[in-house]
Amino acid sequence: MSGDKTSLCALGLDLGGAGLKGGIVNSEGKLLEGKHLPSPVHDQPEQIADVLAKLLRDLAEEAQAQGWEVVGAGVSSTLDVDPQSGCFLPPHFAHLEGWQGYPIAQYLQDAIDLPVLVENDGPMCAWGEYLVGAGRDYNSLVMVTLGSGVGGGVILEGKRLPDTLGRAAYFGHLCIDQHGLACPCGRRGCWEMYVSATALERRAAEAVAAALHPTRLDKRPTAQQIVAMAQQGDALACRLLVEHAGFLAVGLTDLANLFAPPLIVIGGGLSQAGELLLAPAREQMNALRLPICPKIAVVASQLPFEAGLLGAALLALERFGGVYVRNAKQS
């Protein structure tokens, strides 16, 4: 490896429920090339690994053709993974043979002949936001991702939780009502059952069916449509987001009381609702929480589509190339 680190780059992948993204990230933290593919849906981990390996090989070739020196790759995974061993954990909600212990990191490493790390997407989104997104001027933050499920990550004084705690920060399974809705994890009243995009869609379908308010929402609206309609002033869509904000505030208050973070970043698809969702959630959280720290900012992700990919690639760049990128305003 040459002494000039400006020519170094890392590859990043984001294996999400809604798609597979890949990109090349340079030593300034810039995403140079992005590729989007449909999410690989397969029963066996080998098949998913093959799709990821092919995308990594393509990206590595492209990076090398552009004159970059690739130090390795980072993968942000919605499928649970043990970051210490780089192996898949058993899926929460399905009983699939062959998943637990599948060495995804090692497989990819062998396939592209470069070092590869694989981590859970919540912590990787938090790391991406911390380095080059909404958290770049803060030393600590809590990240909450609102998608089909609810994930999270914690950065304290510039440090990620250690890999030995890589299974921590499953904020979606904070209990907000022990007699509440049954969660596939086996408990009742998990936060995810109330604040995920899926939960919003479920409540919206019920509200449309009840027909108490005139609305332009479909019978089974997607979260995206609910947000779009709320932005256009649809009364029911607005009401649904305010109700959603109430559930969001309950869990955010717990996180505020647990960590007293200066910043909470809301990511995932629902962060697109912006202030329509965040303003009432912020107001209620600040009214409910203990006055343990003077001010907690609650903001939407600045990298709604790339936080996980960037977090994983920048971690790979640091771990395998010795390049730490942080685009704080002061630098």
Instruction: Give counts: helices (H), strands (E), the chain.
Output: 9, 12
| Candidate residues 18, 89, 161, 185; the one interacting with Zn ion per rule CB under 5 A | 185
d(CA 310, CA 15): 12
> CA-to-CA distance for 155 and 135, rounded, in angstroms?
10
Which of 30, 173, 202, 213 binds Zn ion (CB under 5 A)? It is 173
Under rule CB under 5 A, residue 131 binds Zn ion:
no
For residues 329 and 331, give the distance between their C-alpha atoms in angstroms, rounded to a whole number.
5
Nearer to Zn ion, 200 or 207 (CB): 200
CA distance 176 to 193: 10
Residue with smaller CB distance to Zn ion, 40 or 180: 180
Note the Cα 57 to chain centre separation in Å: 24
Q: What is the rounded CA–CA span in Å between residue 300 and residue 282?
A: 11
Rule CB under 5 A: which of 140-159 touch Zn ion? Answer: none
Please identify, using beta-carbon distances, which residue of 98 and 186 lies nearer to Zn ion.
Answer: 186
- Of 81 and 183, which CB lies nearer to Zn ion in the complex structure? 183
When asked if residue 190 is in the footprint of Zn ion (CB under 5 A), the reply is: yes
The rounded distance, in Å, linking the Cα atoms of 27 and 18 is 28
**Residue 20 binds Zn ion, judged by CB under 5 A:** no
Does position 183 bind Zn ion by CB under 5 A?
yes
Which of 183, 281 has the CB closer to Zn ion?
183
Residue 169 interacting with Zn ion (CB under 5 A): no
Our finding on whether 199 is near Zn ion (CB under 5 A) is no
Which structure tokens are listed for 275? Answer: 């202030």
Q: Which residues bind Zn ion (CB under 5 A)?
A: 173, 183, 185, 187, 190
